[in-house]
Amino acid sequence: MRYLDRRVRRAEVVAVCDQDTERAGRVAETVAATVVTDPYELIASESVDAVVIASPVSTHVDLALATLDASRPALVEKPLAERPSGAGSVVAAEVAGGHRLLSLGFMRRFDPAHVSLRRHLEEGTIGGLRSFRSVHRNPVPPADGSTRLTVAGSAIHDIDCARWLLGDFVRVRAVGGSDGPGGALDLVHIQGEHVDGGLSSIEVSTAAGYGYEVTAEIVAQSGVVATVDSADTEVRVAGRRTSAIPQIWLDRFEAAYVAELEAWVEATLSGETFDGASAWDGYMAQVVAEAVIDSLDSNTPVDISPPDRPDMYV
């Protein structure tokens, strides 16, 4: 909320809703907003131009459908739903309404390093893309960690990046390992094949221990482009060279979140199409995530037949 209110031009936070009303009150006070106890009341309010949905994933479908019923633009944090079927119902409702109103919070599409990867491809200076590799590591697994959360909560960012760069997946193969309680996989490796023959390799760990790190690399026909360490400084002292490693995702992607929010606000106020992830992208990322989970369960490759993309999302 503070980003929207203080760092995003033309944005004004007018209402805040949270199950924890005391917490909502504290946040609302910092941005001079009203506290609303019913999210559907907030969505329907005439004082609200657009909505950010950052609630628990189990509520995303119902809240997204409510914004569509109210013709209210919304930015929904990933994932769009708990299962592909829920995401598909949101897409069907948006298509039936005839207007793109929903956007997905895949903020890496606005991260300068990832944007640079895509720009090099579009400029053609390194030739056609052959493969994409992503590494995504969190220091400590969540208390409610599960294999599904590792894939659909964390790896889904990397899945979206792979789609963004290489196009739709047609096959995935995944393997995993775990040191955590309950048998949940906190380390997953995903191999992907894409529509135009490109290959993707994704490593996701929710228990890396040392910090939060995301790196990406593309291999093209005549060159390689890779993201570099996101640390601001490097220290050289006593025969050693060190640099800081972020401990949370916000340290690494703060600029991306702000850029995403700015682009979304500008598109909403101007009536233009948001140049970020759509509800369709959210749905397709979940289709792939579900295939990854199926592959982990069966220990076999899983084919994916990409459905026809509605004209609205072309």
Query: What are the pLDDT digits (tens) for 121-178?
Result: 899 889 989 999 999 999 988 888 899 999 999 999 999 999 999 999 999 999 999 8
pTM, two decimals, is 0.94
Question: Which residues lie below 8 Å from residue 193, measured CB to CB, with a gap of 6+?
Answer: 169, 170, 171, 172, 199, 200
Report all structural domains of the chain as residue ranges with CATH numbers, in order of start: 2-107+257-279 (3.40.50.720), 114-251 (3.30.360.10)
pLDDT of residue 289 exceeding 80 = yes
Tell me 237's DSSP state: E
Question: Which residues lie below 8 Å from residue 7, measured CB to CB, with a gap of 6+?
Answer: 258, 261
pLDDT of residue 180 exceeding 70 = no
Task: Name the residue among 88, 61, 54, 60 with its Cα closest to residue 290.
Answer: 88
Q: How confident is the model at residue 117 (pLDDT cuts 50, 70, 90)?
A: very high
pLDDT tens for residues 34-71?
999 999 999 999 999 999 999 999 999 999 999 999 99
Judge whether 91 and 308 are in contact, CB under 8 Å. Answer: no
